[in-house]
């Protein structure tokens, strides 16, 4: 549903007062994908900055940031469940080894998945069962 009152008013003027305007499922899917990828980027950036501050200045922010990470994790669990939340955190924080090499995610059948982009991961993630 369009939430901007100015756009709604303009559309009502053009189409008539009784018209209902709904966004297509494609638009909703695109928005969810964009928000998911933005969340990944934000978590990654916060994690990197937190570690840079520790390495460069010896300031440990974990006592503060752990509450924010917990809040994010709780929302991810609510939306996607525990298993998928674990996969999200693996991707966001552990998909590279100490040397910066990309690691794969191995499923129960031994198949290994590598994700070069957030979009690749999102497409895998949204179809993940569990």
- Predicted TM-score (pTM) of the model is 0.77
Name the maximum alpha-carbon separation found in the chain. 62
- For residue 2, the model assigns a pLDDT of 61
- For residue 21, the model assigns a pLDDT of 67
- Which residue ranges of the chain lie beneath pLDDT 70? 1-3, 19, 21, 23
Q: Do residues 87 and 105 lie in contact, with contact meaning Cβ atoms separated by under 8 Å? A: yes
- For residue 72, the model assigns a pLDDT of 96
Assign 36 to helix, strand or coil: helix
- For residue 91, the model assigns a pLDDT of 97
- For residue 3, the model assigns a pLDDT of 66
């Amino acid at each position: 549903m369009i939430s901007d009152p100015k756009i709604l008013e303009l559309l009502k003027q053009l189409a008539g007062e009784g018209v209902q305007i709904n966004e297509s499922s494609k638009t909703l899917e695109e928005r969810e994908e964009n928000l998911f990828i933005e969340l990944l980027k934000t978590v990654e950036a916060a994690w990197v900055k937190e570690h840079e501050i520790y390495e460069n200045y010896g300031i440990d922010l974990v006592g503060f940031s752990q509450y924010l990470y917990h809040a994010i994790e709780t929302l991810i669990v609510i939306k996607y469940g525990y298993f998928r939340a674990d996969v999200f955190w693996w991707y966001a924080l552990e998909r590279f080894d100490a040397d910066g090499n990309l690691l794969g995610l191995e499923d129960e059948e031994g198949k290994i998945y590598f994700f070069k982009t957030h979009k690749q991961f999102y497409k895998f993630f949204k179809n993940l069962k569990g």
